[in-house]
């Protein structure tokens, strides 16, 4: 895992909803917009699974994920890649349910998807676009 900088974490937090990409076992890509996502620490992002269908199936078959964070005001964009685990019990799950229900009590809060950040890339246009940062 790598440690995200304060700038990367701020861009993620300011970019919600965030497009999250997964790939099925057969190699079929899927992108979903995620509105309930938060930074747990420098290496970990929590994504709330409320209505994932294809995304859920994909992370069960292939626990790799990528997200894109873009802040138009700061002119920053990052692609973050990592491995995930889907948690449906225990303290992390309970904390996620409480957080989700504090935002909207009607959401199902099916699972906490814990993303362990492995790589970060610059995604803003220009000569450094696509370069690995971390």
Confidence of residue 88 (pLDDT cuts 50, 70, 90): very high
User: In this structure, are residues 25 and 62 in contact, taking their beta carbons and an 8 Å threshold?
Assistant: yes
Average pLDDT over residues 26-41: 97
Q: Is 48 helix (H, G, I), strand (E, B) or coil?
A: strand
Q: Are 124 and 77 within 8 A, CB to CB? A: yes
What is the structure's pLDDT at 72?
86
Query: What are 42-86's pLDDT values in tens digits?
Result: 999 999 999 999 999 999 999 999 999 999 888 899 999 999 999
pLDDT per position as a tens digit, 92-126 = 999 999 999 999 999 999 999 999 999 999 999 99
Residue 86 pLDDT: 97
- What is the Cα–Cα distance from 53 to 96, expressed in whole angstroms? 19
Q: Domains (ranges, CATH) in the chain?
A: 6-122 (2.30.110.10)
């Amino acid at each position: 895992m790598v440690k995200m900088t304060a700038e990367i974490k701020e861009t993620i937090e300011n970019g919600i909803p965030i497009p999250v990409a997964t790939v099925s076992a057969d190699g079929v890509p899927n992108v979903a917009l995620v509105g309930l996502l938060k930074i747990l620490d420098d290496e970990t992002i929590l994504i709330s699974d409320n209505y994932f269908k294809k995304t859920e199936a994909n992370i069960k078959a292939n626990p790799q994920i990528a997200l894109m964070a873009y802040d138009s005001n700061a002119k920053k964009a990052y692609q973050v890649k990592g491995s995930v685990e889907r948690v449906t019990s225990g303290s992390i799950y309970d904390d996620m349910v409480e957080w989700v229900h504090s935002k909207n009590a009607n959401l199902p809060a099916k699972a906490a998807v814990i993303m362990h950040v492995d790589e970060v890339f610059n995604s803003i246009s220009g000569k450094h676009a696509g370069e690995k940062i971390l």
